[in-house]
């Protein structure tokens, strides 16, 4: 059974760093792209970027390029989303999702709620 299990909710202050995780199981982690999606409170889904764990080929949405880092550790089947300096506007639910080999996201993590507040 394919599963993506994300790390728990976080409460941070502006300027702090953060790394959230998405642990995959039930399939060959290195063979599928893993994407990250942001959902701000009461808003829609925004594609942030995606990584191919086998070779760490990473693509970013222009809206998020330079604001965060996507990475993966194939030895533990885990993808990451990292910020060096959080802003209040980073407050959102973040989802990871596996890309089906044919192109669309098929399996989703349960989401990680990140709250940034002074």
Partner 1 sequence: DIVMTQSPDSLAVSLGERATINCKSSQSVLYTSNNKNYLAWYQQKRGQPPKLLIYWASTRESGVPDRFSGSGSGTDFTLTISSLRAEDVAVYYCLQYYNTPLWTFGQGTKVEIK
List contacts with partner 1 (CB under 8 A).
Answer: 33, 35, 37, 44-47, 50, 52, 59, 61-62, 95, 97, 99-100, 102-106, 108-111
Q: Are 91 and 31 in contact (CB under 8 A)?
A: no
Please, which residue, 86 or 93, has the CB nearer to partner 1? 93
Please, which residue, 96 or 116, has the CB nearer to partner 1? 96
> What's the CA dihedral at 111, 75, 86, 9 to 10 degrees?
30
Minimal distance in Å, beta carbon 85 to partner 1? 26
Minimal distance in Å, beta carbon 13 to partner 1? 26
Q: How far is CA 79 from CA 10, 35, 41, in A?
A: 17, 9, 23
């Amino acid at each position: 059974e394919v599963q993506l299990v994300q790390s728990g909710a976080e409460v941070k202050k502006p300027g702090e760093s953060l790394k959230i995780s998405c642990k995959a199981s039930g399939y060959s982690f290195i063979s599928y792209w893993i994407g990250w999606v942001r959902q701000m409170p009461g808003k829609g889904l925004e594609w942030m970027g995606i990584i191919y764990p086998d070779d760490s080929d990473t693509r970013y949405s222009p809206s998020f390029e330079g604001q965060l880092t996507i990475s993966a550790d194939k030895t533990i089947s885990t993808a990451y989303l990292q910020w060096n300096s959080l802003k209040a506007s980073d407050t959102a639910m973040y989802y990871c999702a596996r890309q089906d080999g044919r192109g669309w996201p098929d399996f989703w993590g349960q989401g990680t709620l990140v709250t940034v507040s002074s």
